Amino acid sequence: MQISSRFSVAVHTLLCVEVFKENYKVTSDFIAGSVGTNPVIIRKIMSQLKKAGLLEALAGTGGTYLCKKPEDITLLDVALAVELFENDRLFGFHDMPNPNCPVGKNIHHVLDCHMQVAQAAMENSLKGVTLKDLLLELPQ
Amino acid sequence: MQISSRFSVAVHTLLCVEVFKENYKVTSDFIAGSVGTNPVIIRKIMSQLKKAGLLEALAGTGGTYLCKKPEDITLLDVALAVELFENDRLFGFHDMPNPNCPVGKNIHHVLDCHMQVAQAAMENSLKGVTLKDLLLELPQ
DNA sequence: CCGACATGTAACTATTGACATTACAGCTCA
DNA sequence: TGAGCTGTAATGTCAATAGTTACATGTCGG
């Protein structure tokens, strides 16, 4: 079980848009070539990034640009944009615990808060990294 | 995308073993009844918990007990026991970035450390909660 | 010592989500 | 107007989860 590569692809996409905006028309084909996947995959992910207000694409003519400054886009923004966590819940849960058992009746209530704390710890970590940080870390 | 419910089922299982050890013979059937699933599912998860040294089951006769004290079993121990993260990596990654592209060539190297920090933040959070904490939080 | 009852697994199925791919409608500009 | 791009639907493949049946194996009570 692993978190979908949609996340790493989305980050890759945003980096490409920013890095190559001066010298290339950054199309889904172009990005797909860098990521190593199909252009449609990129378009779907770009569609999610657009809905989240991170990206804008020019219909018809092609070309893409960021809607925010790289220092204002965090990895958490990207993760949420591509719906990495179903219903915003990272942890899955068995849905039929026995309500007649003292453990089954309370397990959900007892475990949930600890799961949420763990998820929040991860999200906070992601929130501390921006696209600009990554751009600076990319070798020239 | 969500982390498998194996984790919550494993925690549920351990709690049952400890809570009912005085008054019941805790079999896979018994636990399955509390979790709301099939006994074989429970046996598979118990098998993983055994390999991790958290649990012991009596072959033939039935019945199960913990190998450690509840205060010495953390949620992280359980998560690792049921192999929640493939190759210990929580985050998936696209595996074919283009090595001829300056972004594709470095994306893995640049993103990996941030992913690991985020994962570590979550694991640290899980490490801070023990089975005993949960037992105390269960209403009597 | 044998039968009832558990565990430990293998095998099979159903379901779901990720990812890939083809196809095509719609938009824009040279 | 046509080349090139986006947006999206439809379809296929693959892997993992979860459920189920079946059965070999082990253990203890009677």
User: In the structure, what pLDDT confidence band is assigned to residue B63 with cuts at 50, 70 and 90?
Assistant: confident
What's the N-to-C CA distance of chain A in angstroms?
34
Does residue B60 approach strand D to less than 7 Å at its CB?
Answer: yes
Cβ within 8 Å, pair A36-B98: yes
Chain A residue with the nearest C-alpha to that of B18: A103
* Nearest residue for D6, CA–C1': A59
Shortest CA distance to A40 belongs to which of A31, A53, A49, A52?
A31
Cβ within 8 Å, pair A134-B126: no
Does residue A61 approach strand D to less than 7 Å at its CB?
Answer: yes
Q: Where are the alpha helices (DSSP H) in chain B?
A: 6-20, 28-35, 39-51, 75-81, 102-127, 131-137
Structure confidence at residue B131 (pLDDT): 96
C1' (D27) to CA (A2) span, angstroms: 40
Structure confidence at residue A140 (pLDDT): 65
Number of H helices, E strands in chain A: 6, 2
C1' (C21) to CA (A37) span, angstroms: 11
User: Which residues in B45-68 are b (16+ Cβ under 10 Å) and which e?
Assistant: bbebbeebebbebeeeeeebebee
Structure confidence at residue A7 (pLDDT): 97
Say whether pLDDT at B133 is over 90: yes
Judge whether A15 and A135 are in contact, CB under 8 Å.
yes
User: Residue B14 burial by CB count (10 A; 0-12/13-18/19+): exposed, middle or buried?
Assistant: buried
Cα angle A108, A126, A111; round to 5? 10
User: In the structure, what pLDDT confidence band is assigned to residue B140 with cuts at 50, 70 and 90?
Assistant: low
Give Cα separations from B82 to A101, B42, B51, B64 (angstroms).
24, 12, 10, 18
Range B31-59 average pLDDT: 93
From first to last of the 140 residues of chain A, give the pLDDT tens digit. 899 999 999 999 999 999 998 888 899 999 999 999 999 999 999 999 999 999 987 777 777 889 999 999 999 999 999 978 877 889 999 988 999 999 999 999 999 999 999 999 999 999 999 999 999 998 76
Least confident of B25-39, B79-93, B117-131: B79-93
C1' (C26) to CA (A102) span, angstroms: 59
Considering the entire predicted model, what is its pTM?
Answer: 0.89
Cβ within 8 Å, pair B94-A37: yes
Strand C, nucleotides < 7 Å from a protein CB: these are 4-11, 17-23, 26-29
Judging contacts by C-beta atoms under 8 Å, the chain B residues touching residue A121 are: 121-122, 124-125
Taking all residues of chain B, what is their mean pLDDT, rounded to a whole number? Answer: 92
Cβ within 8 Å, pair A97-B34: yes
Cβ within 8 Å, pair A103-B138: yes
